[in-house]
Amino acid sequence: MGRLNTWYRILNGTYDTHAEPVGNLDPFSRWLIATRSVVFVMTANSVIIGGLLYLLGAGFSYGFLLPFSLALVGLVTAHAASNLFNDYWDAKHGIDTSVDYFRPAYMPHPTLSGMMSPRGLFSLGLGHLVLMLAITSYFVALRGPLVLVFAGLGVLFLTLYAGGPHPLKRIGLGEPTVFVVWGPLMVGGTFFVLSGTLPLWVIVASIPYAVSVTTVLFGKHIDKIDYDTPLGVKTVPVLLGEAVTKTVLKALILIAYAAVVGLVATRFLPVWSLISLLALPRASQLFRVLSEPRPKEAPPGAIAWPIWYLGYVFNHNRRFGALYVFGLIISVLAPVYI
C-alpha cells in the first residue's frame, strides 16, 4: 500500500518532493516524477474526448477497444517523451542548470537530482519514442500513410518545443503549440485512427479543451516570469507582462466555456456537454486568485512552491476536463440535441 499511495500522490500532484528524497523512491515512482506524470491527465482527456466523439457518431463496438487503447498509450508515451526531452534540452541550453531555477525548485529534475545522467535521460526519451513509433506503425497499417502526418507533426512539435536552435517556447510560440497539440492534433488524431476520417466538427469540438490546456501553460509561465526574463526565454507572459497576461488568461477561460455553449447551440454537441459549466465556481475562484498579487514567500502548507497560479489553473483544467468528458459520456449514452 505504501508504494500505491506514493504513486497516487505523484499522479495527483500532492507528493512533497522536498520532504521525500528521490533516492528513497522505487524505480516506477522515479519514472513518474521524471516524466512529470501529474500532467498526463491532460493527454488522457484529449484522447478520451476524441474517442467519445467517435462513439457519438459510430456507436460502441468491441473493435473500438484495441485502437483506442493503443492511441491512449501512444499519446501518453509521446507526452512522456516530450517532457523528458524538454528537461534534456533545457539543461543543454543552460536553463535547467541550478536548483534555484523554477523547474528543479518545485519538482526534482531528472539529472540535477541525480536520478540519471544526461545520456540516460536522452536514452529514456528515445525509448519512449520507439514505443510511440511502434504504435504509429500499427495505425499506418490500419489507416494508411495519412497517420504519418499526425505522427510527424507530433514529433516536430515535440522536438522544436524545447530543442533546436530556436525552441518554440523561447520565442512566444509555446502556448499556441500546446493549443494545436492538445486540441486538433490529439483529439483529431484519435478520431482519425478510429474512423479513418476527420470531419471539421471534430476539430471544432476539440477547441474548448484545447483552450483549457493552453491556460495551464499560461499559469506556469506567469509563475516563471522572473525566472525566464533574465535568461531571454520569451514566453507569452514575458512578452506581454504579468498584468496583460492575466487578462488574456481570464479571457481564454471564458472562451472555453463560451465555446461549449456555442457547440451545443449550433448542434455540434448534445446538450449534456453543458455539464462542463459546473466548473464555473472553480473558474470564479481562479479569477479571484488572478486578481491578487502572488505571495512573496511560500504560504503555510505549500507543497510545490514556487508554483502559485499554475496550481489554481491546473485544478480548474482538471475539473473542466473531467466534466467535459462526463458530458460526452452521457451524450454517447443518450444523445439529446437542442
Q: What is the pLDDT of residues 241-258, one digit of tens each?
A: 999 999 999 999 999 999
User: Is residue 76 located within the same domain as residue 128?
Assistant: yes
Q: Where are the alpha helices (DSSP H) in the chain?
A: 2-12, 27-34, 40-58, 65-92, 102-106, 118-143, 147-162, 174-180, 186-195, 200-205, 207-223, 225-228, 236-240, 242-265, 280-290, 309-333
Average pLDDT, the chain: 90
Rama region for 28: left / alpha / beta (φ>0; ψ in -120 to 50; rest): alpha
Q: What pLDDT does residue 26 have?
A: 87
pLDDT at 261 over 60: yes
Q: Kindly state the cell numbers that stand for 219.
A: 499559469
Q: What pLDDT does residue 162 have?
A: 75
User: Is residue 109 located within the same domain as residue 5?
Assistant: no
Q: What pLDDT does residue 212 have?
A: 98
Residue at 120 is within a domain: yes
**Alpha-carbon separation of residue 223 from 95, 113, 168, 172, 316 (angstroms):** 16, 22, 19, 16, 16
Residue at 338 is within a domain: no
Q: What pLDDT does residue 160 have?
A: 83
pLDDT at 134 over 90: yes
pLDDT at 17 over 80: no
Q: What pLDDT does residue 8 have?
A: 86
User: Is residue 138 located within the same domain as residue 16?
Assistant: no
User: Is residue 9 located within the same domain as residue 80?
Assistant: no
Give the confidence band of 324 by pLDDT, cuts at 50, 70, 90. very high
**Over residues 183-190, mean pLDDT:** 96
Residue at 160 is within a domain: yes
User: Is residue 205 located within the same domain as residue 304?
Assistant: yes
Residue at 121 is within a domain: yes
Q: Counting Cβ atoms within 10 Å, is residue 44 exposed (0-12), middle (13-18) or buried (19+)? A: middle
User: Is residue 21 located within the same domain as residue 48?
Assistant: no
Q: What pLDDT does residue 112 have?
A: 79
User: Is residue 156 located within the same domain as residue 14?
Assistant: no
- Cβ-Cβ contacts under 8 Å for 233 (sequence gap 6 or more): 95, 169, 170, 224
**Alpha-carbon separation of residue 335 from 52, 53, 55, 269 (angstroms):** 12, 11, 11, 9
Q: Cα separation of 36 and 13, whole Å?
A: 9
Count CB neighbours of 1 within 10 A: 5
Look up the domain containing 14 and give its range. 1-33
Tens digits of residue pLDDT in 203-216: 999 999 999 999 99
Sign of the Cα torsion 5, 116, 230, 86 reads negative
CATH code of the domain covering residue 50: 1.10.600
**Over residues 272-284, mean pLDDT:** 98
Domain total in the chain: 2
Given a contact cutoff of 8 angstroms between Cβ atoms, the answer to whether 214 and 178 are in contact is yes
Q: Cα separation of 183 and 75, whole Å?
A: 13
Give the lowest-confidence range in 13-17, 22-26, 41-45, 330-334. 13-17
pLDDT at 16 over 80: no
Given a contact cutoff of 8 angstroms between Cβ atoms, the answer to whether 6 and 15 are in contact is yes
User: Is residue 109 located within the same domain as residue 8?
Assistant: no
Q: 320 pairs with which residues across the strands?
A: none
Cell 539529472 sits at which residue? 111
User: Is residue 116 located within the same domain as residue 162?
Assistant: yes
Better-scored residue on pLDDT, 323 or 170: 323
Give the confidence band of 94 by pLDDT, cuts at 50, 70, 90. low
Q: What pLDDT does residue 35 have?
A: 93
What does DSSP assign to residue 234?
B
Q: What pLDDT does residue 88 have?
A: 86
Tens digits of residue pLDDT in 59-73: 889 999 999 999 999
Residue at 180 is within a domain: yes
User: Is residue 25 located within the same domain as residue 47?
Assistant: no
Residue at 114 is within a domain: yes
pLDDT at 101 over 80: no
Q: Cα separation of 77 and 72, whole Å?
A: 8
Q: What pLDDT does residue 77 have?
A: 96
Q: Cα separation of 41 and 47, whole Å?
A: 10
Better-scored residue on pLDDT, 8 or 96: 8
pLDDT at 14 over 90: no
Cell 484522447 sits at which residue? 47
pLDDT at 96 over 70: no
Q: What pLDDT does residue 93 have?
A: 65
Residue at 284 is within a domain: yes
Q: Kindly state the cell numbers that stand for 152.
A: 510527424
Given a contact cutoff of 8 angstroms between Cβ atoms, the answer to whether 161 and 174 are in contact is yes
pLDDT at 231 over 90: no
What does DSSP assign to residue 298?
P
User: Is residue 146 located within the same domain as residue 288?
Assistant: yes
User: Is residue 76 located within the same domain as residue 209?
Assistant: yes
